[in-house]
Structure 1
């Protein structure tokens, strides 16, 4: 069972306020000069003073109602000649509670009720304060108590806003972290797919060729097996580089990423796998941004792998790289039977997704699909800034 400690303390505070108010009532207070004598304390006065402290027990739940309830016996005290209308201790405590626990409109209402009750008691009661400056002092004290309550509420609201802002920033940071991790996973998945799909496709083709010629020409089969071994080692080296980035307890052996300059080696590898490939480079080669350079290489790699797998027997491919003043145009086309359900033209598989993400990342334009006269094309145009 959970105990609400602040509300448990309010009855204790009410008893303390009632006791202190009764003590002050029974003593002559030199701080409140009056123009006439006060009615001496008696049972009725002590009872009314004690009753003014009872509503303090409800100051958090119904602060404005408690204030009004406390002002009623206070007015009766003034009308009976026990005081000069000066707000008692209970009234000040309840006014502070209204200002610190309720909104501005209700807080202003509490201040207005307190000042109105004081004005009514000061004008209608039989006892008057000695000078008008005493009225000003009372108004200042009441307003100061109200202002202290409002300051506490504003400070509490400010602290809550700081907590909410910190919570929002923490949630935003967590969301950014998740997005960054997702993007990094996507990038690594693209790299792994491009490396694995390309090299495994080449190895499958070479293994099939070795199996066909194993009995008739063992020497040629041995060359195919050597090519498979070389391709496998290359794939393992690239995968080790990529996976090494993910390991926190080991330092990855970072090497230069492949780029357009490595296309001749890629074309030669595809020729060894059985796909006739021509490489055409037009324009003046120049240094490219690292991201564009890698994206162009991966696009050619994916396009040639697609041709190797789906173009059919006897098909050839052409890789064209055009260096333009403000654009890099990369094109892979073959003269085979065209796309199938497993290639990028069908909109399935990670190959198309990876290519589209790479090209879109650098603001490029991508076109993938069959050619009108037969064959298949993968083409991307990357915009380049001046000086790149």
Structure 2
């Protein structure tokens, strides 16, 4: 036996619903024809035999025409629902006249009700309302004729069939509204995902570039001031600018590569803190990193977030604190990672009005951590964060 694909739908699900509408019409037609024959177990009333259906050549020709109309109408329900449904109704209406039915019963109107459900499910409301009006018009036409000719009217049967039509329309319209709502939610979710991704890329760009640009600006300014009096120091500062520029370009290339290939590991982590401290020290702010606790691998999102927090805090020290040193403390706890960056400069300076502290707070909040930043007693500034570690990492 040949194995089937895991993505192949069941056989019955592969049949279009419009095809089921045609099958249902043929089934109801066959049920109507059965009423002309005496079935096993049926009693003979007053000794009269059951009538035998004998339509003749013209009757069979009309049945063939009605079958073609029903089949064609079902195929047009998706693209041209009004015209398709009008063709579809020719079948039940013609069959009722051919079989001598004075009124429609529930069985004979099952196929039109199902076709109405399909139209209401796949098309907007005003289209389905007009289609339902078609069905009710065909349903009430023989009723009006019999009332006008003062014939016998089965009002209860008529109302039951009308209720069937209304239920079919309500169910189909409800499905259509539910699908439209789901599509709107999916569109909204996709738009939110795009916005979140843009914000993430903006944060990564800011964190990757801001630190290096701050060092480049500081070193370039120092080189400009001493280029004539201390050329060796100016040359050293320009080499630092060159190295920082190369590192920034390399970081941008790695980040863009990771964005093109989702699933790659984060660009940087706490293992890069020593290199960060060296570049900051070369910029004139001595950075000491203190490690506490047993160092161990961290989840990628926490490792990257922790590095970005330290990088942003140290960048603020370089750009705003006007100090010569800062301290970074990283503590590995059993259930959390603690970070603390302190300096003895003049305070936050211009960083409070930018995106640095806001971005750090947002990163920590996304990881359900705690963040604090503020002036220290006795001078300086302190940034602290606690990031909870999942059980696997702890």
Q: TM-score surpassing 0.5?
A: yes
Q: Does 1:282 pair with 2:287?
A: no
Match of 1:273 in 2: 283
Deviations 1:334-361 (A, max 9, x none): 1001122x21xx3x32212221121111
**Structure 2 counterpart SS, 1:207:** helix
Paired residues for 1:209-228 under 5 Å: 209-228=222-241
After superposition, residues 150-165 of structure 1 pair within 5 angstroms as 150-165=163-178
Query: Which residue of structure 1 aligns with residue 49 of structure 2?
Result: none
Deviates more, 1:378-387 or 1:261-270: 378-387
Corresponding residue number in structure 2 for 1:332: 341
Q: Does 1:203 align with 2:208?
A: no
**Structure 1, residues 306-354: CA drift from partner, whole Å, max 9, x if none?**
0111111x442110111111111001011001122x21xx3x3221222
**In structure 2, what is the equivalent of residue 36 of structure 1?**
none
Cα distance per residue 1:44-81 (max 9 Å; x no partner): xxxxxxxxxxxxxx998999999997676444x6xxxx
Which one has a bigger Cα radius of gyration? 1
Aligned alpha-carbon RMSD (Å): 3.6
The structural deviation recorded for 1:213 is 1.8
Query: Offset of 1:253 from its aligned partner?
Result: 12
User: What's the counterpart of residue 391 of structure 2?
Assistant: 386
Aligned counterparts of 2:333 and 2:258: Cα–Cα separation in 1 = 34
Query: How many angstroms apart in 2 are the aligned matches of 1:339 and 1:218?
Result: 33
How far is the alpha carbon of 1:294 from its aligned partner? 0.7
The correspondence of residues 157-176 of structure 1 with structure 2, limited to 5 A, is 157-176=170-189
Aligned position for 1:295: 305
Q: TM-score w.r.t. structure 2 length?
A: 0.61
Partners of 1:273 and 1:230 in 2: CA distance: 11
In the TM superposition, residue 147 of structure 1 has moved relative to its aligned partner by 3.7
Say if 1:319 and 1:333, in contact at 8 Å, map to a contact too.
yes
The 1:244/1:261 distance shift into structure 2, 3 A limit, reads closer
Please list every run of 5 or more consecutive structure 2 residues that lacks an aligned counterpart in the other structure: 1-81, 103-132
Indicate the residue corresponding to 2:330 in structure 1.
Answer: 321
Question: Structure 1, unaligned stretches of length 5 or more?
Answer: 26-57, 78-84, 88-110, 116-142
Give 1:166 deviation, angstroms: 1.7
Alpha-carbon distance in 2 for matches of 1:380, 1:202: 24
Aligned twin of 1:119: none
TM-score under structure 1 normalisation? 0.62
Distance in 2, Cα, partners of 1:361 & 1:316: 30
Q: Measure the CA separation in 1 of the matches of 2:326 and 2:314.
A: 7
Aligned residues: 277
More moved, 231-240 vs 160-169:
160-169
CA offsets 1:226-283 (integer angstroms, 9 cap, x no match): 1111100111111122234555xxx699675211111111111100000022111111
* 2:356 is aligned with 1:351: yes
Q: Distance in 2 between matches of 1:155 and 1:302?
A: 62
Q: Distance in 2 between matches of 1:372 and 1:24?
A: 97
8 Å contact kept, 1:188–1:242: no
* Cα distance in 2 for residues equivalent to 1:299 and 1:59: 67
Conserved 8 A contact 2:330-2:340: yes
User: What is the correspondence of 1:19-30 to structure 2 with a 5 Å cutoff?
Assistant: none
Give the Cα separation in 2 of the matches to 1:157 and 1:253.
Answer: 46
Cα 1:196/1:24, change in 2 over 3 Å: closer
Note the 1:1-388 alignment, pairs <5 A. Answer: 73-75=148-150, 85=152, 87=153, 114=155, 143=157, 145-245=158-258, 257-312=267-322, 314-340=323-349, 342-343=350-351, 346=352, 348-388=353-393
